[in-house]
Amino acid sequence: MTSDRRTFLKQTSTAGLGLIAAPSLRFGKISPNDKVVVGVMGLAGRGHALARVFSAIPDSEVAYVADVDSRILDRTVEAVRENQERSPTAVQDFRQVLDDTDVDALVIAAPDHWHTPASIMALQAGKHVYVEKPLGHNPREGELLVEAQRKYGQVVQMGNQQRSSAFTQQIIREIHGGLIGRPYLARTWYANTRGPIGNGQEVPVPEGLDYDLWQGPAPRTPYRDNIIHYNWHWFWRWGTGESCNNGTHELDIARWALQVDYPVRASSVGGRYHYEDDWEFYDTQIAGFEFGDDRCITWEGRSCNAFPIAGRGRGTSVHGTEGTVVMDRDGFEVYDLENELVRSEVREAPEASMDVVGGGDMTDGHAQNFAQAIRGEAVQNSEIEEGHKSVLLCHLANIAQVTGRALAIDPSNGRIVDDAQAMEYWSREYEPGWEPVV
């Protein structure tokens, strides 16, 4: 860890990110003098980075690292040991973490089909939850997680880390204060150069991998050689496509900037255009969301063609009656109606934006905010209901795309109306015995 990053962590520990809560906001048994003890589930990518983060922030400690693949446990144990004296216990089955009464929170970075089931299991075991986006495999799971948080009362935070960025908070406040007049359109995008995943073959399960537990809530299917540990993102059985994988972040910023909740209409065009392989979702997608107060949001995802928009591989532009703001994780620009640049700000500590792991000071701050919310020292920067509203846009984009038509949405709850076929995608079929129940 760099000295600059250590300094940042110490500063945010003291300042609480500037969001100090009243004592009545304290949760559970944690006191300000105790560390928040966490277990991290899913270590192949993002979870490895999160284990490093939670072991480094001053008010938390990683007691467990868990992954169904025993071959990757040791590297995360070693990474955690660089930041804390205690060596974490490595386990294949995360349920062992839930059985330990000394653990305060579960950090979930397992595949998407595990997000809500594992979160609910953790809440029922009395744990707080930090769950990576998209927090659920389908819209119903998002509803269930919100319901579970309300029932059990613990802190639940999604990994939409830009909500904990001071510079993003600043520019959003200014947009809400009239910086560009009345904002009415937000454009979001993500462009990458992902390669093909090929056509997988049924092969024996690798030694050390508990494939049955990896599948967990998903209906069983034979092991194939082009799924684990990343390409599951592109299959309906386990993943949620690029819209939920990366669109979640930008759509969350867009919805925040426009101050909108659920849309009244969702539509999508696109397909799998670039390669012919097993990829089931879309490498090219343009989705639109209309809201009842004359505001709209668009999402453009290009998984296999990285031509940037506004010089950025990913980002959000917010357009109003008096100008435009263009922003990403590394800075923002403000333009007037003559397209003249009137202000620009670039961050000195950029967040990883285009790799499959991510990491940086926004992630550090988001984890810190989660720990401080548990300790009663800060207000959450992203309550789980806000995360659900943003993720739901991504699910609606996928449903509109697969059904081939625009969807009418009830703006009071985000549900699709008068379309029984589209509502078949609202939930999923589960492996018997694995259905999430609040």
State pLDDT tens for residues 70-108. 999 999 999 999 999 999 999 999 999 999 999 999 999
**Least confident stretch, 26-30, 117-121, 186-190:** 26-30
Compute the average pLDDT of residues 363-385: 95
Residue 206: DSSP 8-state? P
> Contact at 8 Å (CB) between 354 and 313?
yes
> Contact at 8 Å (CB) between 360 and 351?
yes
> Contact at 8 Å (CB) between 247 and 301?
yes
Instruction: Kindly tell me if the per-residue pLDDT of 19 is higher than 70.
Output: no
Distance CA 385, CA 29 (A): 24
Distance CA 139, CA 285 (A): 19
Nearest to 66 by CA among 210, 217, 207: 210
Instruction: Kindly tell me if the per-residue pLDDT of 29 is higher than 90.
Output: no
Instruction: Kindly tell me if the per-residue pLDDT of 34 is higher than 50.
Output: yes
- Per-residue pLDDT tens for 313-329? 999 999 999 999 999 99
- Per-residue pLDDT tens for 180-233? 999 999 999 999 999 999 999 999 999 999 999 999 999 999 999 999 999 999
- Mean pLDDT (the chain) is 92
CA dihedral 343, 346, 352, 353 (to 10 degrees): 20
* CB neighbourhood size of 381 (10 A): 23
Instruction: For residue 73, give Cα distances in angstroms to 67, 79, 200, 216, 298.
Output: 7, 10, 26, 19, 40
pLDDT band at 2 (very low <50, low <70, confident <90, very high): very low
Compute the average pLDDT of residues 335-351: 88
Instruction: For residue 180, give Cα distances in angstroms to 165, 171, 259, 317.
Output: 21, 11, 14, 12
Instruction: Please provide residue 312's backbone torsions phi and psi, each rounded to the nearest 5 degrees.
Output: -125, 140
pLDDT band at 3 (very low <50, low <70, confident <90, very high): very low
pLDDT band at 33 (very low <50, low <70, confident <90, very high): low
Query: Radius of gyration (Cα) for the chain, nearest Å?
Result: 21
Distance CA 227, CA 142 (A): 24
Looking at residue 23, its pLDDT comes to 30
Nearest to 306 by CA among 277, 280, 284: 284
Looking at residue 11, its pLDDT comes to 41
Looking at residue 348, its pLDDT comes to 75
pLDDT band at 9 (very low <50, low <70, confident <90, very high): very low
Instruction: Kindly tell me if the per-residue pLDDT of 418 is higher than 50.
Output: yes
pLDDT band at 359 (very low <50, low <70, confident <90, very high): low
Instruction: Please provide residue 124's backbone torsions phi and psi, each rounded to the nearest 5 degrees.
Output: -65, -25
pLDDT band at 14 (very low <50, low <70, confident <90, very high): very low
Instruction: For residue 203, give Cα distances in angstroms to 175, 224, 225.
Output: 53, 6, 6
Nearest to 300 by CA among 186, 438, 156, 171: 186
Question: Under 8 Å CB-to-CB from 65, ≥6 apart: which residues?
Answer: 39, 40, 43, 47, 51, 73, 76, 77, 80, 88, 89, 90, 91
Compute the average pLDDT of residues 104-127: 98
Distance CA 410, CA 385 (A): 17
Start-to-end CA distance of the chain, whole Å, equals 39
What are the residues facing 189 on neighbouring strands? 300, 315
Domains of the chain and any CATH numbers? 3-163+367-374 (3.40.50.720), 165-198+226-353+384-423 (3.30.360.10)
Instruction: Kindly tell me if the per-residue pLDDT of 12 is higher than 50.
Output: no
